[in-house]
Amino acid sequence: MQSENRFFDDLAKMVNGVAGTVAGAGREAETAMRERAKEWIGRMDFVSREEFEAVKQMAATARAEAEALKARLDKLEGVSKADTVRTPPGKPAAKPAAARKPKA
């Protein structure tokens, strides 16, 4: 025997409607928070990964070109790697053999 009780049916419909409303409000709040986060990050001048990788590649290319140009310049000037070695601070540079005075 099944009894019809309108109170429980109405209560179930109301709870079901409230659950749907709460779920919709949750989705709306999440969307609003995402938009606010995007705006906040946009004002912080962060760089995207793609922009970072592009600048990193440009820097590597510029570094390689600078090294190639330095090698070419050294070759044109006739400078060897031994000539470019710097003396430690506090130590005078060695004089070339022609500039030294012979000892008596």
What pLDDT digit, counting tens, does each position of 78-89 carry? 876 656 556 566
Q: What is the pLDDT of residue 101?
A: 59
- Work out the angle at residue 68's Cα, subtended by the Cα atoms of residues 81 and 51, and round it to the nearest 5 degrees: 130
What pLDDT digit, counting tens, does each position of 5-61 carry? 788 888 888 898 888 899 899 999 999 999 999 888 878 877 889 999 999 999 999
Q: Whole-model pTM above 0.75?
A: no
How large is the average pLDDT for residues 65-87? 81
Exposed e or buried b per residue across 48-77, where buried means at least 16 C-beta atoms within 10 angstroms of its C-beta: eeeeeeeeeeeeeeeeeeeeeeeeeeeeee
